[in-house]
Amino acid sequence: MRYKEYFERLAPKRVRDRKRHAYYWNDITRYCNYFSHEDFSVLEIGCGAGETIHDLKGKRKVGIDYSEKMIEIAKSRFPEVEFHTMAAESIDLVEKFDLIILSNLVGFLDDIQSVFSQLHKVCHPRTKIIITYYNFLWEPLVKFAELTGLKRKTPNQNWLLKHDIKNLLALSGFEVYRKANTMMFPFYIPLISSFLNRFLVRMPLFRLLALNSFTFAKLAAPKQESTDDYNVSIVIPARNEAGTIESAIQRIPFFGKSQELIFVEGNSTDNTWEVLNRVKEKYSGSHNIKIVQQQGKGKNDAVKKGFSIATGDVLMILDADLTMPPEELPKFYNAIASGQGDFIIGSRLVYEMENGAMRLLNLFGNKFFSFVFSWMLEQPIKDTLCGTKVIFRNDYEKLVSNQEFFGDFDPFGDFDLIFGAYKLNLHMVEIPIRYRERIYGSTNISRFKNGMVLIKMCFFAARKVKFI
- The span from the CA of 365 to the CA of 342, in Å, is 26
- The span from the CA of 274 to the CA of 410, in Å, is 29
The pLDDT averaged over each successive group of 10 residues in the chain (468 residues) is 82 91 94 95 97 97 96 97 96 96 94 95 96 88 83 85 92 94 93 92 88 95 75 94 93 95 92 95 95 89 94 95 91 92 88 63 71 79 84 93 66 78 91 76 56 68 68
The answer to whether the beta carbons of residues 454 and 410 sit under 8 Å apart is: yes
Q: What are phi and psi of 430, to 5 degrees?
A: -100, 140
User: In the chain, what is the straight-line distance between the N-terminal and C-terminal CA atoms, in Å?
Assistant: 36
The answer to whether the beta carbons of residues 415 and 457 sit under 8 Å apart is: yes
- Report pLDDT for 405: 65
Q: Which residues contact 240 (CB under 8 A, 6 or more apart)?
A: 268, 269, 270, 272, 441, 444
Proportion of the chain in helix, strand, coil states, percent, rounded to 5: 45, 20, 40
pTM for this one? 0.83
Q: Residue type for 51, please?
A: E
Backbone dihedral region of 191: left (phi > 0), alpha (psi from -120 to 50 degrees) or beta? left
Same fold, 4-219 and 231-465: no
- CATH classification for the domain delimited by 231-465, as one of 3.40.50.720, 3.90.550.10, 3.30.420.10, 3.40.640.10: 3.90.550.10
The answer to whether the beta carbons of residues 231 and 312 sit under 8 Å apart is: yes
Helical segments of 328-384, H only: 329-337, 360-376
Q: So where are the chain's domains?
A: 4-219, 231-465
Q: Which residues contact 432 (CB under 8 A, 6 or more apart)?
A: 346, 347, 350, 351
- The span from the CA of 286 to the CA of 416, in Å, is 34
Class of domain 4-219: alpha beta
How many helices and strands (H and E) does the chain possess?
17, 14
Residue 29: strand, helix, or coil: helix
Nearest Cα to 119, choosing from 186, 77, 168, 187?
Answer: 168
C-alpha pair distances (Å), 146 with each of 22, 137, 155: 17, 16, 11
Q: Residue type for 423, please?
A: K
- Report pLDDT for 286: 94
- Report pLDDT for 219: 95
The answer to whether the beta carbons of residues 417 and 343 sit under 8 Å apart is: yes
- The span from the CA of 315 to the CA of 392, in Å, is 6
